[in-house]
Structure 1
Amino acid sequence: MGETERKLFVLDTNILLHEPLAIYSFQEHDVVIPMTVLEELDRIKDSKRDVARDARVAIRALEDLFHDATPEQISEGIPFSKEKEAKGTISILADFELQETVKAFADKAGDNRILNAVIFLQNKKAPRPVVLVTKDINMRLRAKGAGVLYVEDYRTDQLIDDIQYLTKGFQQRPGDFWDSVAEVESRTLNGKTYHTLNRAPFEPTYINQYVIDEDSDFAARVADITEETITLKDMSKERMMHRKAWDITPKNVYQAMALDALLDPDIDLVILTGAAGSGKTLLAMASALEQTVERKMFDKIIVTRNTPDIGESIGFLPGTEEEKMMPWLAAVTDTLEALHKNDHCTEGSLNYICDKANIQFKSINFMRGRSIQDAFVLLDECQNLTASQIKTIITRCGEGTKIVCSGNLAQIDSHYLTPVTSGLTYMVERFKNFEGSANIHLNGVVRSRLAEFAEENL
């Protein structure tokens, strides 16, 4: 690849915060890091924000590449690799020396300097394509308005292009299931019925995916997959709808599938996605109490979630770590109250059950380095986590631990995540072929008719 064929990529700060080692995704081309990006990384690395660690990782990666280089080499560009095949280079552009061509709002001085750098390189390197890569939608719009010819989002880490292609964890067959089946081989094993069918009509299919139909009572779960066939474990909708956990029964077939996965001891990871009010937290908490208190399968319940501004605001709240976490975990405590609202003394029941089930409320920021054994872990609001944060939690789970990750991709609060780059999306896609996990998208809002109308019409 000659120099004219290689593109020149200018990376914005948010790319290195989103994916600290993103520079290596471009190593077939030339990468330019404006000095402004290094200054912004420097400010962020000392902050209390949850991206401070990512900033430090990005800075270390750049230091590893540049540690032997002279100032001239750094501005000219050094190769990513010592191997002769590696043609790509990386350089730092002293953008503060450039004459300003972009006049814009003063409060975005950093962005303006980056845009200046891109336009300078665009003029200097023509006709080579100079591409600005940024995750900031507004920055992309401003760049185009300022005359930048090529502006792109960072898509290297996207597993899917559109959230509508995300697997839902079940497939619904039209009509009556058995009407569309030509050949089947059925057998009974340990009181359970299994059907082996041709795989082709079910594509795409994954292990532990549920199969339901529209007209009959048929429901099943994919128990085994070969190149030619799939084996379904017969479940029956009616049986699933009558299952109970902590006196909670499913309100629809989607909740029934979720409850089945939550109560199955062979499934270590359950991923629940769905709209607000679809019952994710309620089902997870009910099954946690059922299996910890009634069935004695776990020693404790650990409830955790991301607290974006934990560094700044948790310190000002009084009390222990658990008491500080309460404002963020109100969704879980509300759920516990709902499960015991008919008790003679709700508060007494809650205190008793928190003690009996050994419910611990933890911050995700303090989970690194732990090893969690024989616990039921509920990780709430997963849509705000990056893939690396979710990996940190899941790799903590030791023997006898079950983890439930729930979230709503329509309610992302993080500045750096979109539905397709959320850690929750990653997890659904990465674990869909893992036999120890199940994923269910809960359709329908069961919280109230008010919540249902709001979800559909607002």
Structure 2
Amino acid sequence: MDDRKRKIFVLDTNILLHEPHAIFSFQEHDVVIPMTVLEELDRIKDSKRDVARDARIAIRTLEDIFKEATPEQISEGIRFNTEAKSTGTLAILADFELHETVKAFADKAGDNRILNAVIHLQKKSASRDVVLVTKDINMRLRAKGAGVRYVEDYRTDQLIDDVQYLTKGFVQCEGNFWDKVDEVNSIALAGKTHHLVHQSTIEQPYINQYVLDTDSDFATRVTRIEEESITLKDLGRDKLMSRRAWDIKPKNIYQGMALNALLDPDIDLVILTGAAGSGKTLLAMAAALEQSVEQKMFDKIIVTRNTPEIGESIGFLPGNEEEKMLPWLAAVTDTLEALHKNDHCTEGSLRYICDKANIQFKSINFMRGRSIQNAFVLLDECQNLTASQIKTIITRCGEGTKIVCSGNLAQIDSPYLTPVTSGLTYMVERFKNFEGSANVHLNGVVRSRLAEFAEENL
């Protein structure tokens, strides 16, 4: 690549916290790390925040690259991928030596120094594009206001451009499905009916995708995809709606599909998305109790979730780990109460069930390094996790473990995530062709008519 066409990318701290190996995403260009970023990584790596581990990984990555470099080489830039044919370099800029032109926000001295570094590089390398890469929306606005010409978000791990294109987990055909089929070969396997139809019948099919129509009882799931044909497992809408788990029945067809996936022993990962009140946590917990207590399929139920400030605040709460986690997992305990609200003694039933099913409430920070065997894992509020955090949790699951990941992309609390960059979105797209996973988007709010009206009109 011509030197003038090579860009200079200046990375903000939040990029390395979001993806510690982000520097390798700029193979043909030059990457500059301001000294301020290293100072902020140093402060974060020893903190109790959940991003401390990502900060340490980023620091070790930089140390591996610069360990044999001289100070002059570090400031000028060295190739960070010598084995590949890439021409990109990595440099550290001593931004504290620069003349300040941006002095806004006295409490944001670090941000000001990074902006000054970008403006300095713009003037120094006028013939090249200098791009600030940050996940902080306000930082992008401030940068443009301060005179930075090019500001971008980090999009390497973004698989879709708009959340409306996110896979729903099912396709609903208008009219009667069989009216659109020219040829079908139906066979019976292990007491189940399977239909072989031409692949063009369904647009872009993938494994474990549900197929419905609007005019009949037709309801199937894709079980096999070949060059010219796809195999549909006949489920039947009435059968989906009649499934029960811990005395819970589906209230709509979307819950019926979700319950089918949750109770299928051949599916190891179930991803549930949908609005607040659509029944994600209730269905997951009902399926967990049904398969753990009644069917003895799992030895324990592990419930965990991410909270942005959990690393700093959990230590101030009284009790052991599980007691500290209870305030964060109130949605799950509320669900347990709802499942046993008609019992003679609800509190006694909850204590009995928690012991019988061996329900454990765990902090996501303590899931790293574990190997979870024969367990039903419920990972709630996944919309606030990054792709690397999702990977950390899923790779903990060993033999006989089923994991359910649920979340609502409209309720993201992280300041650095959007619906298209959320780990939940990333997971849905990455696992849609994996035969051991299923994804269902729950349409409709069934919590109450008040919740339904609020979801639609507020």
For normalisation by structure 1, the TM-score amounts to 0.98
Shift of 1:84: 8.5
Q: Residue 352 of structure 2 aligns to which amino acid in structure 1? A: Y
User: Residue 35 of structure 2 contacts residue 92 of structure 2 at CA under 8 Å; is this kept in 1?
Assistant: yes
Q: Output the CA distance in 2 between the equivalents of 1:84 and 1:397.
A: 34
- Specify the SS of the correspondent of 2:250: coil
Matched residue count: 458
Give the conservation status (yes or no) of the 8 Å contact 1:198–1:228. Answer: yes
Q: List per-residue Cα deviations over 1:109-140 (Å, max 9, x = no partner).
A: 21111111111111111121111111111111
User: CA, structure 1 residues 376+81, in 2 after alignment: closer, same or farther (shift >3 Å)?
Assistant: closer
Aligned position for 2:454:
454
The answer to whether the aligner puts 1:340 opposite 2:343 as a matched pair is no
Corresponding residue SS for 1:324: helix
Aligned to 2:172: 172
Matched with 2:398 is: 398
Q: Give the SS at the match of 2:111.
A: helix
Query: 1:86, CA displacement in angstroms?
Result: 3.2
Distance 1:14 1:84, change over 3 A: closer
Identity %: 83
Contact 1:307–1:363 (8 Å) recurs in 2:
no
- CA displacement 1:262-310 (0-9 Å, x = unmatched): 1111111111111000000000111111111111111111111113322
How far did residue 103 of structure 1 move? 3.4
Instruction: Provide the rounded CA distance (Å) in 1 between the counterparts of 2:81 and 2:441.
Output: 44
Taking the TM superposition and a 5 Å limit, the aligned residue runs for 1:54-203 are 54-82=54-82, 85-203=85-203
Partner SS, residue 138 of structure 2: helix
Instruction: Write the deviation string for residues 229-269 of structure 1: whole angstroms up to 9, x where unpaired.
Output: 11100111011101111111000000000000011111111
Alpha-carbon distance between aligned partners in 2 of 1:104 and 1:315, rounded to the nearest angstrom: 35
- 1: CA distance, partners of 2:303 / 2:84: 51
- Residue equivalent to 2:12: 12
SS at match of 1:251: coil
Greater Cα offset, 166-175 or 386-395: 386-395
Q: 1:285 to 1:85 in 2, by over 3 A?
A: closer
Q: Is the 8 A contact 2:378 2:403 kept in 1?
A: yes
Question: Are positions 1:322 and 2:325 aligned together?
Answer: no
Distance 1:271 1:50 in 2: 23
Report the 3-state secondary structure (helix = DSSP H, G, I; strand = E; otherwise coil) of the residue aligned with 1:455. Answer: helix
C-alpha contact 1:134 1:152 (8 A) present in aligned 2: yes
Counterpart of 2:425 in structure 1 is: 425
Q: Is the 8 A contact 2:157 2:426 kept in 1?
A: no
1:237 equivalent in structure 2 = 237
Counting only pairs closer than 5 Å after superposition, residues 400-415 of structure 1 correspond to structure 2 as 400-415=400-415
Query: Once the 2 structures are TM-superposed, how far is the Cα of residue 83 of structure 1 from its aligned partner?
Result: 5.0
Looking at structure 1, the residues matched to 438 and 301 of structure 2 have their Cα atoms a distance apart, in angstroms, of: 20
**Structure 1 residue identity aligned to 2:106:** A
How far apart in 1 are the matches of 2:352 and 2:81?
Answer: 61
Gaps of 5+ in 2: none
Q: Distance in 2 between matches of 1:404 and 1:238?
A: 24
Q: Distance in 1 between matches of 2:37 and 2:298?
A: 47
- TM-score, normalised to structure 2, is 0.98
**SS at the partner of 1:106?**
coil
Corresponding position of 1:2: 2
Q: 2:347 is matched by which residue type in structure 1?
A: E
Quick one: distance in 2 between partners of 1:245 and 1:400?
Answer: 20
- Structure 1 gap segments, 5+ residues each: none
Deviates more, 1:245-254 or 1:71-80: 71-80
Query: In 2, distance between residues paired with 1:291 and 1:256?
Result: 17
> What one-letter code is carried by the residue in structure 2 that aligns with 1:145?
G
Q: Does 1:306 align with 2:326?
A: no
> Structure 1 residues 64, 449: closer, same or farther in 2, change over 3 A?
same
Q: Is the 8 A contact 2:135 2:154 kept in 1?
A: yes
Provide the secondary structure at the position in 2 that maps to 1:272: strand
Q: In terms of mean alpha carbon deviation, does 326-335 or 75-84 score higher?
A: 75-84
Q: Is the 8 A contact 1:195 1:231 kept in 2?
A: yes
